[in-house]
Structure 1
Amino acid sequence: MAINQVQTRAGPVEAEVTGTGIPILILHGSPGGIDAARTMSHFLDKHVFQCICLSRPGYLNTSLSRTHRSIDDEADLVAALLDALQIPRVGVLAWSGGGGVAYQLAARHPQRVFAMVAIAAVSKAWIAPKTPLAERVMFGTKFGAKVVDFMSAKVPEHVVQGALEGEGSLRGEELETLAKQVMEDPAQRQVVLEMASTVNVGGPRKEGWLNDVKNFAAIKSLGLEQVQCPVLLVHGDADTDAVPSYSEDAHARLPLSILVMMPRGTHLCFYAHPQAREVQAQATKFFWDHAQRP
């Protein structure tokens, strides 16, 4: 079943449901959109898992309410989406900025989430770093978006290496080795290139990005201690976008969690790393195992 716009009691949401089987809700990062959620779901077998992809509030075609703009509000909106789709319980796959709403969904609506895989997920206050002018042009304007798309088509190796460099502390030979490995793996290359086209903070993603930045800076608690479902935390120890302490602190506070720290992994390590397939298989089994439990 494919859906573009779902009407919920809390407002319309750009969403689609693909595949059959165990329902997995995909929560993209910041910035992002339904396109980023689709890319996140590539590793899930659509004959085994039903993927619910959406654009979070303020991204692409999910409007941001004038009055209900908090992370709590977003969690309630997601619950309303599940109601509209008549899906009682889901596994949650959240990456980076999607972590806040994932934790709040599980804390506020515990009966709706049977398990969570949280990748480099925000679990406490996050302050957006200041970006150089060149980056603001490349990832904040229509011109920059066109340049990224052109480079992805003509010189994808530069886009891949630039993404890995920008999302971690790898440099020199270590960075070049990982970039080469990613370029030689069709699935990993595809994810990095697709993600590069979803991280522009301007245009139809601007409102969501600015709201996320404001909300993340003001985080006091995401109710991690109230999360009843098991959580698989995945993080790279070379991540500079969301530093490893986000998952380490979450692991210490969550009642049921497993922490997987990927060596020399960047913010993209779940999808672009020598151990990516192994950890993806672990995540798949995690969802499968916990979906079978009452």
Structure 2
Amino acid sequence: MKQPTLVDAGPVSIAYETFGSPDDPTVVLIAGIATQMLGWPDGFCQGLADEGFQVLRFDNRDVGLSTHFHDAELPQVDLTPGATRTAPYLLGDMADDVAALLDALDLDRVHVVGFSMGGMIAQEVALRHPERVISLTSIMSTPSANVGEPTPEAIAALLSPSAKTVVEASDRAVETYAVVGSPGYPTDEAWLRATAEESYRRSNDPKGVVRQFAAVIASRDRRPGLRELAIPTLVLHGEEDPLIQVDGGHQTAAAVPGARLVTYPGMGHDFPQPLWPAFIGEITDHALRAQKEDR
């Protein structure tokens, strides 16, 4: 893995790296909860770059090598319906991080792609900074924490005790994706273990994950804003996703005028390698159509 670059982006420093040529249009990849930039597989990123894009992936705040909010009060995450939900920051703040990263890298308008929590952040980027977004792709995500809610088994896997060693991190990744991964496709256990181990070595901050989770559940329902969105939008979702169930994809697409929804039988809450050509093809076609309309 190449060494990421650290750049000041507003109130945070963000670790990022790129694939492809800076002369090509940029696709920004936003990762999900507790997931460092490594959650976007190198091969997937290179596949997009080979289609004629500069691909930018980065660590969200509170994971990896980007700024961690160690001094923030640790939120009490209460999933009880109707409970008051507060967080040190919201998904909108994380979307502003993305805009600040674009400023720092002198990138004007980009294609924004996010999975899971990253899809929620991508939606917020489109809502808060529409002038920066040529196209939006929301993958295995939702417009609201109350839509497509996880199964009891999936939320239990997500909230399982934090790993205390590299070996535990590796085992935990395999155990988690046995629950939330794709039942219709083989699990790439070697990649899961290698990514979990590298992520643990780069940065292990369970409290940061709690802060991210609090941001997800305390943030607004984006459907009212999405109904006014005039940005070409693509929604991809697995039909067997237990962590953000497929209704999250349906509701996202239903909210955005003209959005296109593609669902995949047998896909859960991960990126099965056999589906990479389909994902890359959909994202590429969507981005190229949006670029033509943008001229």
TM-score by length of 1: 0.77
The alpha-carbon distance between structure 1 residues 257 and 3, as it changes in their structure 2 partners (threshold 3 A), is same
Aligned residue among 114, 123, 127 for 1:103 = 123
Contact 2:120 2:141 in 1 (8 A): yes
Instruction: Report 1:149-164 matches (<5 A).
Output: 149=170, 159=174, 164=177
Which residue number corresponds to residue 35 of structure 1? 38
Instruction: Report 1:168-247 matches (<5 A).
Output: 168=181, 170=183, 178-179=185-186, 192=192, 196-197=196-197, 204-222=204-222, 223-247=225-249
Q: CA deviation at 1:10?
A: 3.1
Which residue number corresponds to residue 90 of structure 2? 70
Structure 1 position 264 matched with structure 2 position 266: yes
Which residue number corresponds to residue 155 of structure 1? none
Q: CA deviation at 1:117?
A: 1.6
Aligned residue among 48, 56, 77 for 1:52 = 56
Contact 1:56 1:208 in 2 (8 A): no
Equivalent AA in structure 2 for residue 231 of structure 1: T
Rounded to whole Å, the distance in 2 between the matches of 1:199 and 1:114 is 31
The alpha-carbon distance between structure 1 residues 38 and 87, as it changes in their structure 2 partners (threshold 3 A), is farther
After TM superposition, the structure 1 stretch with the greater mean CA deviation from structure 2, 60-69 or 80-89, is: 60-69
Contact 1:32 1:198 in 2 (8 A): no
Instruction: Report 1:130-169 matches (<5 A).
Output: 130-131=155-156, 136-137=160-161, 140-143=162-165, 145-147=166-168, 149=170, 159=174, 164-168=177-181
Contact 2:167 2:197 in 1 (8 A): no
Identity rate of aligned residues, in percent?
21
**Deviation digits for residues 72-99 of structure 1 (CA, Å, limit 9, x no counterpart):** 1111121111011000011111000112
Q: CA deviation at 1:22?
A: 1.5
Q: CA deviation at 1:216?
A: 1.6
Contact 1:36 1:198 in 2 (8 A): no
Structure 1 unaligned regions, length at least 5: 153-158, 184-188
Contact 1:5 1:14 in 2 (8 A): yes
TM-score by length of 2: 0.77
Aligned length: 266
Structure 2 unaligned regions, length at least 5: 73-87
